[in-house]
Amino acid sequence: MKISVVGCGFLGAVYAAGMASLGHDVVGIDVDQDKLDRLTAGHSPFFEPGLDDLLIEAQNKGSLRFSADFPDTASSTMHFICVGTPQLDGSLAADVSYVNAAVQSLLPHLKPGDVVVGKSTVPVGTAARLAPMIVDAGADLIWNPEFLREGHAVKDTLNPDRLIYGVRDKEASAAAIQDLDEAYATMLDRGTVRLVMAYPTAELVKNSANSFLATKISFINAMAELCDASGADVTELADAIGIDDRIGRKFLNAGVGFGGGCLPKDVRALQAQARDLGVDSAVSLLNDIDHINQSQRSRLVALASRLCGGLEGKRLAVLGAAFKPNSDDVRDSPALDVAQQLQDAGAVVIVCDPHATTNASLRFPDLSYTDTLIDAVTDSDGMLLLTEWQEYRELDPAALRQLVHIPVMIDGRNVLDPTAWRTAGWTFGALGRP
Ligand code: UDX
């Protein structure tokens, strides 16, 4: 099938490469020529394990190319909208202007029988608003939210948990549904669940899935505060409640909380949506989730201050800048927020991360950075592990003890063994653990 992918950011670049690897003939469209040049050279503009290989393989086979020209979409019969919907400045709501612009640019090139597939995360009502223009051109619109995770994006794209099709009418859209089934034949043949529903439900699926994940994290972080007050251990608590498969152990890792380009934005977008719809109880639940998440960051700063005997003039090493491991994404990164709060409180902070320091220095230019752990920790008065890269999980407390000035370790992700660190002579602290 001939496919165009409009928007070659994180979602679009992975999607274009993924669909090409499934045997389709794909053109990726973007306005950023620099990004297109890098993708054409087989270099992902961001760190995502496995993506460069997929890009090179697809381009060598001749099934993937990139272009800045919208007329290049004209030879495709299916068009995936993969542009971003970031949080609007000064509002909790998502900015859909890139989606609107993508559809406007696509309209002159649509042919009867084409299918436009919306993958961006949008507020309820977006698909119903855009559909008439697309239908007027003889094409159809399916909203098909995407659930890929950064750091696992290639695998998630090729092996999704489920496929959601939001349609204007199951019968009227039967041909479009069949076309999308053809595009996803490899996944459907493997037994991937496919659910067809009306536009509003499909639009809510993504925001509510991410808000539910955020709820689990904020719930366990609220429990971490109870654990701190009672002497309990939140990691053991999570193991114990997570055995119940109605609850599940995933997304119950307490610590400095969630960040990134999706969970915080989607919780806020759902809040804005609930407010618009006049659903007050949903607004207050979502507000609490966001509030608990933000307060974990200041609780960690307070813990650092307590264990280091104040922050003024203390040389602190922050391990991690990315919002999670295996990513160089620093959007709404808890690690950088904490680093900035520590510096604002008078500490001398140095941040290290194996892949994210370049992006971090663009967003937080006042912080100091190094790519090397040794540079960050040598002579430090305290260390905070805030992004659980594998290499930080495997740190040797006895060896590190020789490098630092004062051995204080604060585990903001609850991935280290407190006993091992204390035995090696460290003052060890974490949120929700004695
Ligand atoms: C999320 C969704 O998981 C994905 O389905 C959707 O398509 C995009 O948004 P992503 O933003 O890549 O994916 O990150 P995710 O793995 O969900 O982690 C989000 C944040 O939660 C990270 O900062 C992570 O460190 C934090 N987290 C995760 C916790 O604090 N505790 C946990 O138990 C799990």
Ligand 1 centroid to Cα of residue 177, in Å, is 30
Q: Is residue 233 part of a domain?
A: yes
**Residues 6+ positions from 16 with CB-CB distance below 8 Å:** 5, 8, 26, 27, 28, 64, 66, 82
Residues 142 and 229 in one domain: no
CATH of the domain at 39: 3.40.50.720
pLDDT at 280: 83
Residues 287 and 417 in one domain: yes
Q: Is residue 413 part of a domain?
A: yes
Q: Are 312 and 347 in contact (CB under 8 A)?
A: yes
Residues 240 and 185 in one domain: no
Q: Phi and psi (nearest 5°) for 416? A: -100, 160
Question: Relative to the CA of 146, which ligand 1 atom is closest?
Answer: 7
Residues 187 and 334 in one domain: no
pLDDT below 50 — which residues of the chain? Answer: none
Atom 17 (ligand 1) nearest CA: 149
pLDDT at 344: 98
Q: Is residue 202 part of a domain?
A: no
Residues 87 and 36 in one domain: yes
Residues 11 and 81 in one domain: yes
Give the per-residue SS3 of 69-85: CHHHHCCCCEEEECCCC
Q: Are 319 and 373 in contact (CB under 8 A)?
A: yes
Pocket test for ligand 1, best of 87, 216, 324, 353 (most atoms within 8 A of CB): 324
Pocket test for ligand 1, best of 258, 270, 326, 415 (most atoms within 8 A of CB): 258
Give the count of domains, the chain. 2
pLDDT at 88: 93
How many CB atoms sit inside 10 A of residue 417's CB? 12
Q: Is residue 280 part of a domain?
A: yes
Residues 57 and 179 in one domain: yes
Q: Name the token pair of 423.
A: 């035995």
User: Can you tell me the distance from the alpha carbon of 247 to that of 230, in angstroms, rounded to the nearest whole number?
Assistant: 23
Ligand 1 centroid to Cα of residue 14, in Å, is 17
Pocket of ligand 1, beta carbon within 6 A: 147-150, 210, 213, 217, 251-253, 255, 257-260, 262-263, 323-324
Last residue of a domain, one of 165, 191, 217: 191
User: Can you tell me the distance from the alpha carbon of 416 to that of 414, in angstroms, rounded to the nearest whole number?
Assistant: 6
Q: Is residue 112 part of a domain?
A: yes
Q: Is residue 201 part of a domain?
A: no
CA 405 from centroid of its chain's CA atoms: 36
Q: Is residue 203 part of a domain?
A: no
Residues 21 and 168 in one domain: yes
Residues 230 and 172 in one domain: no
pLDDT at 374: 95
Residues 319 and 387 in one domain: yes
Annotated catalytic residues are 262
Residues 335 and 376 in one domain: yes
Q: Is residue 197 part of a domain?
A: no
Q: Are 142 and 166 in contact (CB under 8 A)?
A: yes
For Cα atoms 431, 432, 434, give the angle at the middle one, nearest 5 degrees.
100
For 325-384, write each residue's pLDDT tens digit: 999 999 999 999 999 999 999 999 999 999 999 999 999 999 999 989 999 999 999 999
Last residue of a domain, one of 139, 162, 191: 191
pLDDT at 281: 85
Residues 133 and 245 in one domain: no
pLDDT at 39: 97
DSSP code of 45? S
User: Can you tell me the distance from the alpha carbon of 377 to that of 1, in angstroms, rounded to the nearest whole number?
Assistant: 53
What pTM did the predictor assign?
Answer: 0.95
pLDDT at 196: 98
Q: Name the token pair of 296.
A: 């974990």
For Cα atoms 327, 328, 329, give the angle at the middle one, nearest 5 degrees.
90
DSSP code of 170? T
Give the range of the structural domain holding residue 321, as residue numbers without chain letter.
Answer: 209-429
pLDDT at 282: 85
Last residue of a domain, one of 161, 191, 221: 191
For 190-220, write each residue's pLDDT tens digit: 999 999 999 999 999 999 999 999 999 999 9
pLDDT at 272: 92
Q: Are 99 and 60 in contact (CB under 8 A)?
A: no
